Structure 1
């Protein structure tokens, strides 16, 4: 038995999480996966009932779960931490040292895209860089010495750079193009980005035949738009990766298709790349694709750790069924210029899974 924790989150989270739960149930029946799906409240619903967006029972359940599926959270609207407003993404990344954020950006037949043959994976370092909520052992990475001066610390460590380079190199070695691009601003940030670049290059040496190059982040942003097909696996630091992965998702079809996995050595959290979209909540028009693709990535991660062909097949079925659904224009959700509602899209997907 494998235990997966589902946290629906805020806004459209409960709607798209219901589709994910239904798809997992379908795969459980088809493949006898043995997944026990446990659902608990986090976010605003938990704040109302427990006084915190991240209750202790959720943290305890996460500890004993094999994997976690996190719905979108409206963290920008949460109260301060001292009033219970805990950023769920940051909390999980710190608690489980989820240092790798893996963000595919792939175009799909049947979906309008600015880059029709795009197939890129952005590997983003997830625990260091400029992000003040996660780059310190204690306290914040930004502060105000005076009312008129704000400072932020950028953390780049040798170990952190090496391990994200190892993840990216492994992914690149398993793909046909065998190419990895390191994105930095090492011409200006010579010490920190120089260290990041050098450790990623060192990590890539483990895999003979990998093509390795470095591009500065400003040039990379323009080349993502001009020649996205030239990229295969990209590795970069936290803030650069946050920005570039969203750009890549929009080019490939939109954030509604943006799957994402936050992974460490011992735990992984599937999380869509988009937000909670409270303006369209409870209207049955949200696209569940990103959270479904993220769930497929979690299954791949679990399959490798547990040597499970069934989980590997479940991940493949999620992608294959979505590919078939996307290929028919009358099966698209509203954000993709279609007419299907959230529930109806889920029904089409389950039908395809059962047919495959």
Structure 2
């Protein structure tokens, strides 16, 4: 019987509501499969700032470091002074790989019935100013009429995200990786990244590597998404493409941030838009984060049970949350998924 320490970081807004839902489903899966979880909650975001004066306390970082995995809700980063707590979190834990699986589910709108692809983005540098410098911000104003934004691409981080992506593709038995770039105009930055990915690809001859301009990838995600298996790209491009891809499956998408020694799972932002306290938030993306977490922990049976419970709930077409066209409350969705977990033989 496995025992896992899970750090819960509910955060702000509807974060506590959807984290509570995910915990309840994980507890149902634990009863069903014999796993044991030891949950511990930590503050982050505005809730942390209001209580401690720090939007990301050291106790939260230590709690995540000491856990087997972490599950996060939402953080109101725009309501706290800089630096961004998510940027600090990624740097402090070196969460260099952002992975988002895009999969179709029954009973809800999806652009295609059989979508199954991954978007992998480098998560610690690039154009995103909150995480591409050791200190300070990569965006600044030298005078009142000028803004400069830095893009950082390093050999070390490009090499490790490339190898991570190839290993992921190999483990998932994927046959092709598409590198999304803009080397025709960003010749040094994108060209450098592309060169390093190609070099890494020589160690994985069984995986086809292609490269495509990022605007063409954005176009084909809508027109021909079935042509993609795994998409690899830099930070800002990946931020945009992964949100676009999520929209193809009604945003029923978890996200994983991986470092060398830890992993953090959280839903995409679109899943966290409703007003808190109304019991109308869609908990399914956060629940699916639990499935992704179980897979990463090596609990493949438990991961299958959780995902199958979500599939069966969606196939029934009852108690859908508001953002999927129904009137089901957060509580009703959670109870229904827990019931499906118990019904699986």
Task: Calculate the TM-score normalised by the size of structure 1.
Answer: 0.91
Q: Paired residue for 2:15?
A: 13
What displacement does 1:271 show? 1.0
Matches within 5 A, 1:186-265: 186-254=183-251, 257-265=252-260
What displacement does 1:222 show? 0.8
Q: Paired residue for 1:158?
A: 155
- 1:336 counterpart = 2:324: yes
| Structure 2: stretches of 5+ with no match in the other structure | none
Q: Paired residue for 2:85?
A: 88
- 1:24 counterpart = 2:26: yes
Q: Deviations over 1:35-71 (max 9, x none)?
A: 2111123222222221222223222222211211111
Structure 1: distance between partners of 2:204 and 2:318: 44
Structure 2: distance between partners of 1:3 and 1:36: 5
Structure 1: distance between partners of 2:307 and 2:258: 20
Structure 2: distance between partners of 1:104 and 1:177: 13
RMSD of aligned residue pairs (Cα, Å) = 1.6
Q: Which moved more, 1:282-291 or 1:28-37?
A: 28-37
Structure 2: distance between partners of 1:226 and 1:53: 41
Q: Paired residue for 1:3?
A: 5
| Structure 1: stretches of 5+ with no match in the other structure | 304-310
Structure 2: distance between partners of 1:278 and 1:221: 24
Aligned 8 A contact 2:102 2:117 in 1: yes
Q: Specify the SS of the correspondent of 1:8.
A: strand
Structure 1: distance between partners of 2:218 and 2:109: 21
Aligned 8 A contact 2:175 2:206 in 1: yes
- 1:51 counterpart = 2:53: yes
What displacement does 1:171 show? 2.1
Match of 1:314 among 302, 320, 326: 302
Structure 2: distance between partners of 1:233 and 1:276: 23
Aligned 8 A contact 1:74 1:275 in 2: no
- 1:281 counterpart = 2:285: no
Structure 2: distance between partners of 1:46 and 1:129: 28
What displacement does 1:176 show? 4.8
What displacement does 1:106 show? 1.2
Aligned 8 A contact 2:271 2:282 in 1: no
What displacement does 1:296 show? 1.7
Match of 2:129 among 125, 128, 132: 132
Structure 2: distance between partners of 1:177 and 1:4: 29
> How many residue pairs end up in the alignment?
342
Structure 2: distance between partners of 1:301 and 1:204: 23
In structure 2, do the counterparts of structure 1 residues 180 and 278 end up closer, same or farther at CA, with 3 Å as the change threshold?
A: closer
Aligned 8 A contact 1:181 1:235 in 2: yes
Structure 2: distance between partners of 1:285 and 1:313: 30
- 1:116 counterpart = 2:118: no
Structure 2: distance between partners of 1:276 and 1:29: 27
Structure 2: distance between partners of 1:332 and 1:47: 34
- 1:168 counterpart = 2:170: no
- 1:295 counterpart = 2:297: no
Aligned 8 A contact 2:182 2:214 in 1: yes
Q: Paired residue for 1:307?
A: none
